[in-house]
Amino acid sequence: MTSPAADLVIVANRLPVDRVTLPDGGQGWRRSPGGLVTALEPVMRSNDGAWIGWTGQADDDPGAFVDDGLSLVPVPLSGGEIEEFYEGFSNATLWPLYHDVVAKPEFHREWWEAYVRVNQRFAERAAEVAARDATVWVHDYQLQLVPQLLRELRPDLRIGFFLHIPFPPTELFGQMPWRRELLEGLLGADVVGFQLTGAAGNFVRLVRQRVGHKTHRDLVYMPDGRTVQAMAFPISIDTAAFEELARSDSVTERAAAIRTALGNPERILLGIDRLDYTKGINPRLRAWSELVAEGHFSVRDSVFVQVATPSRERVQQYRVLRDDIDRLVGRINGDLGRLGSPAIAYMHSSFPRHEMAALYRAADVMVVTPFRDGMNLVAKEYVACRYDNDGALVLSEFAGAANELRQAWLVNPWDINGMKEALVEATRAEPKELTRRMKAMRKTVSENDVAAWANRFLAELESARPAHNKKLRPVR
Ligand code: GDG
């Protein structure tokens, strides 16, 4: 296997491609639509970049390959590792613990052992692929041990880490049996990035309390003389691309067709989420159903469209959630729906980006009510698509996005009455009020897009190790 010598290495759980079967029956790759790869593509191309990650299938080890000019380096996972490292420690231990223990985290020693083993494998691949003095950017909660493991193998590297999900307060993180190991894993990086300053603060406080290193503001002083910087880098979307898609004739036509298919209601409310217990789908639908039952809205002229994208279907808590939502939607529609006019139009499926944009265009009110969310890109995508400065956003104050999208109707998802009030206000707001709010939010989302986010992180990483001699080349 020939591995590239890359000056910039991205390490993430998943590669930015999915395996597909080609029309001739052969196997190929399709680029996954995520904003991360779009943001990083230009800087990867200017710096002989490589991306290290899992292909998404068990025991899949095709070796390093180039897809559309990007160097991709697969890390294989066995079926057992998918269960223990991915579904287990990542998604049934870390995910609930880091989201305020909204569900109960499970702690199993075998899962932890698999997590260490897989993180070691990712670190080894990164060590093989990175050129001398290269920059390595590690992503997310599945790979928190990689910075330290990689530094042990390659002290010459400049290493950054970004956590896409929240970082919990000290009281909750304290439950983790391997809390010190995780903190030490992250401290292998030169810059540890979070969505919010509060999360960076939680991290620094925990390092002081649990590891005992000296800290000052956002800096940690390591015994080996290094400093580690913990900072917030709120992630964003490819705003211009979303707006362009939203303005296209085909999306405009599709948005009109969606409205017609729903019976031309006066109001469409919309929720789009991965089917996840952190997203607060249940209280949002309850708030809506109470408003309909109390006569604030009629199913003849209003509908709530809820798209729940299938997610982590092999994890027990996600199966339970799916049954809960199925039952709730069935009961609400059974009680309140009329022939041809359900109270909730519910879809458990995923859609192409084009259809997402058409849904955002069709929706008068976008409802985003997570109990806890690192950022929430759906809220930003809705804003990017509302180029007429209309439409209302109802947003949980527990989504990272609420820090920036201050002009949304901010709600507490635990407070059903508060959510009901906000839904009524947002739905009945005067056009002038909608424009004032949407204009301000659109300014925020167009000034801080995902390219600005990536550039800020990489610039911070470069200046964090001034003694280091190799600089990333700017985008051509
Ligand atoms: C994690 C953090 C943080 C959803 N359904 C479909 C689809 N999507 C796309 C959305 C959006 C993305 O998936 C979801 O992003 P979110 O930010 O809302 O949530 P998570 O998946 O939980 O992401 C989160 C994020 O990482 C980035 O750092 O913001 O807090 O939890 O882009 O559009 N896309 C398509 N079809 C679907 O059916 N094409």
Q: Are residues 337 and 254 in the same domain?
A: yes
Is ligand 1 within 6 A of the CB of residue 368?
A: no
Q: Are residues 231 and 270 in the same domain?
A: no
Q: Are residues 250 and 353 in the same domain?
A: yes
Q: Which residue lies with its CA nearest to atom 10 of ligand 1? A: 378
* CATH of residue 186: 3.40.50.2000
Kindly state whether residue 475 falls inside one of the protein's structural domains.
no
Using CA atoms, how far apart are residues 64 and 456, in angstroms rounded to an integer? Answer: 29
Among left, alpha and beta (phi > 0; psi -120 to 50; other), residue 321 is alpha
Residue with tokens 């159903």: 289
Is ligand 1 within 6 A of the CB of residue 354?
A: no
Distance 342 CA to ligand 1 centre (A): 26
Q: Are residues 166 and 279 in the same domain?
A: no
Digits of tens for pLDDT over the chain (476 positions)?
Answer: 445 699 999 999 999 998 888 888 888 898 887 768 877 887 888 888 999 999 999 999 999 999 988 999 999 999 999 999 999 999 999 999 999 999 999 999 999 999 999 999 999 999 999 999 999 999 999 999 999 999 999 999 999 999 999 999 999 999 999 999 999 999 999 999 999 999 999 999 999 999 999 999 999 999 999 999 999 999 999 999 999 999 999 999 999 999 999 999 999 999 999 999 999 999 999 999 999 999 999 999 999 999 999 999 999 999 999 999 999 999 999 999 999 999 999 999 999 999 999 999 999 999 999 999 999 999 999 999 999 999 999 999 999 999 999 999 999 999 999 999 999 999 999 999 999 999 999 999 999 999 999 999 999 999 987 655 567 777 65
- Confirm if 154 and 123 have CB atoms less than 8 A apart: no
Using CA atoms, how far apart are residues 415 and 278, in angstroms rounded to an integer? Answer: 15
* Domain that includes residue 376, residue range: 239-448
Q: Are residues 209 and 297 in the same domain?
A: no
Q: Are residues 198 and 309 in the same domain?
A: no
Distance 165 CA to ligand 1 centre (A): 11
Q: Are residues 334 and 192 in the same domain?
A: no
Residue 135 phi, psi (nearest 5): -105, 130
Kindly state whether residue 348 falls inside one of the protein's structural domains.
yes
Is ligand 1 within 6 A of the CB of residue 450?
A: no
Q: Are residues 319 and 402 in the same domain?
A: yes
Kindly state whether residue 189 falls inside one of the protein's structural domains.
yes
pLDDT at res. 42: 79
Is ligand 1 within 6 A of the CB of residue 235?
A: yes
User: For 337-376, where are the alpha helices, taking DSSP H only?
Assistant: 353-362
Is ligand 1 within 6 A of the CB of residue 374?
A: yes
Q: Which atom of ligand 1 is nearest to the CA of 35?
A: 32
Measuring CA to CA, how many Å separate 304 from each of 300, 309, 310, 344, 346?
Answer: 12, 16, 19, 5, 8
Kindly state whether residue 387 falls inside one of the protein's structural domains.
yes
Is ligand 1 within 6 A of the CB of residue 376?
A: yes
Q: Which atom of ligand 1 is nearest to the CA of 373?
A: 30
Q: Which atom of ligand 1 is nearest to the CA of 352?
A: 39
Q: How many domains does the chain have?
A: 2
pLDDT at res. 1: 46
For ligand 1, mutation pick of 36, 378, 396 (most atoms within 8 Å of CB): 378
Q: Which of 8, 151, 142, 137 is nearest to 71 (CA)?
A: 8
Q: Which atom of ligand 1 is nearest to the CA of 377?
A: 17
Q: Are residues 200 and 262 in the same domain?
A: no
Q: Which residue lies with its CA nearest to atom 19 of ligand 1? A: 376
For the entire predicted model, the pTM comes to: 0.96
Q: Which atom of ligand 1 is nearest to the CA of 195?
A: 28
Q: Are residues 244 and 136 in the same domain?
A: no
Q: Are residues 297 and 392 in the same domain?
A: yes
Distance 289 CA to ligand 1 centre (A): 26
Is ligand 1 within 6 A of the CB of residue 373?
A: yes
In this structure, the strands spanning 27-31 and 17-21 are: antiparallel
Q: Are residues 107 and 247 in the same domain?
A: no
